[in-house]
Structure 1
Amino acid sequence: MKKKTYEELIKESPVTYDMYANMEDDGNRYEVSDGALELMSPAPTPTHQSVVNELQYKFNVSCRNDYIIYSSPIDVILSATEVRQPDLIMIHRSRVEIIGSKGINGAPDLVVEITSKHSRRQDKVQKRIVYAKYGVPEYWIVDLSNFTLEQYVLDRDRYDLTEVYAEDETIRSKTATCASFSMGEIVRSLPVQPDKIN
């Protein structure tokens, strides 16, 4: 079967995971949102990548005995027509069966998105609705404009914003109780401080 290009696939509806997985590699990253192929925003900034790395390090130090931790790019296949690439995910070791050969087949226990000016609306509105719909128990949004962490916990089919953490307030996950750190620790651990970046 001939691999299709992005231009060919966006004309098709709905786009499924199989179509997406077999598309021509053009060097870009995509997600499938309700059967529509979406081009992801520009490459992450150094600060974004450093925050992802620091979060992953913190989780690995305190949670790796109980959780498997992945950072993007990794496909989270929520349904045949909903495929996301969160910045960071955690899966409890009792649920390893959702880890497949091509991606994660179902909802992780915790999803983290690091938001930027390009992705703020998508992370705070669209993805919040999607992750709740597919049963992700806890969703964090890290906002790089003010280095805060918004913690959303699933209540039936919608998220409640349970806390907004900043500076040295200790972040405590409702799902991954092993996690314990602050945004201040994350910021101070960055190799280049945000105010020093041009």
Structure 2
Amino acid sequence: MAQPTYGWQPPGRGWREEDLRDLPENGNRYEIIDGSLHVTPPAGPDHHELADDIRMALRQAAAPGWRVIREIGVRVPGGNLIPDVTVLRPTAPRERMWAEPADVALVVEVESPSSRRHDRFTKPALYAEAGVPAYWRVERGDFGPVVYRYELAKDDHYRLLGTVGPDDPVQVAEPWPMTLDPGRWPR
């Protein structure tokens, strides 16, 4: 049986940002980690709904000029990542496909079975190395979403600030003072 032919071939060197333009627009998430292409299948409706609710909660609490974007790329050392939600500073240039880490105040990753290891280990290390000051990882617990809040510490790593579950809304300072209440998001 003949193998399917795709309209692109891997480069003869490590993957670069410009190579992403040649990949099919098929709903997959294409990210580059240390010159290797990582492909994640499209997330399901529940994942997108939760990411939308997180984005809305952040937008409603944001000061003028701050932007809260779904699935914009962020440049990191050795590659490019696409968080589920990114908070951009008011000074961030508009109309860019890839944000510079200095323009990012917070990234949020909503865990899926296909992204769990990357969201827990690979991505936080790269965001921290890039200097992104805050990282939230959101898991779906048995009783609703749980947010693991991290802040950038010395030596380019994150320090856990705490967890916030659906029954314990708290005041947070990142990316700005607001009440974080996962109980208002879908289970």
User: After TM superposition, is the score higher than 0.5?
Assistant: yes
Instruction: Find the counterpart in structure 2 of residue 140 from structure 1.
Output: 136
Q: What amino acid sits opposite 2:74 in the alignment?
A: V
**Relative to 1, partners in 2 of residues 1:172 and 1:127: Cα closer, same or farther, differing over 3 Å?**
farther
Equivalent position SS for 2:53: helix
Alpha-carbon shift at residue 172 of structure 1 (Å): 3.7
Equivalent position SS for 2:176: coil
**Relative to 1, partners in 2 of residues 1:100 and 1:14: Cα closer, same or farther, differing over 3 Å?**
farther
Q: Which of 98, 102, 118 is the equivalent residue of 2:97?
A: 102
Deviates most, 147-156 or 62-71? 62-71
* CA distance in 1 between partners of 2:173 and 2:164 (Å): 14
Alpha-carbon shift at residue 131 of structure 1 (Å): 0.6
TM-score, scaled to structure 2: 0.84
Instruction: Find the counterpart in structure 2 of residue 35 from structure 1.
Output: 35
TM-score, scaled to structure 1: 0.80
Instruction: Find the counterpart in structure 2 of residue 119 from structure 1.
Output: 115
**Relative to 1, partners in 2 of residues 1:129 and 1:167: Cα closer, same or farther, differing over 3 Å?**
same
* CA distance in 1 between partners of 2:16 and 2:171 (Å): 36
Mind listing any 5+ residue stretches in structure 2 that lack a counterpart?
1-5
* CA distance in 1 between partners of 2:171 and 2:88 (Å): 17
Alpha-carbon shift at residue 170 of structure 1 (Å): 2.2
Q: What amino acid sits opposite 1:148 in the alignment?
A: V
Query: Is the Cα contact below 8 Å between 1:71 and 1:89 reproduced in 2?
Result: yes
Q: What amino acid sits opposite 1:33 in the alignment?
A: I
**Relative to 1, partners in 2 of residues 1:67 and 1:172: Cα closer, same or farther, differing over 3 Å?**
farther
* CA distance in 2 between partners of 1:180 and 1:13 (Å): 46
Q: What amino acid sits opposite 1:136 in the alignment?
A: V
Greater helix share, structure number? 1
Alpha-carbon shift at residue 100 of structure 1 (Å): 4.9
**Relative to 1, partners in 2 of residues 1:171 and 1:139: Cα closer, same or farther, differing over 3 Å?**
farther
Alpha-carbon shift at residue 4 of structure 1 (Å): 6.3
Q: What amino acid sits opposite 1:162 in the alignment?
A: L
Mind listing any 5+ residue stretches in structure 1 that lack a counterpart?
none
Query: Is the Cα contact below 8 Å between 2:76 and 2:126 reproduced in 1?
Result: no
* CA distance in 1 between partners of 2:180 and 2:141 (Å): 19
1:112-141 Cα offsets, whole Å, 9 max, x none, are 000022211110001111111000100000
Equivalent position SS for 2:184: helix
What is the percentage of aligned positions where both structures have the same residue? 23
User: Are 2:174 and 1:179 aligned?
Assistant: no
Instruction: Find the counterpart in structure 2 of residue 44 from structure 1.
Output: 43
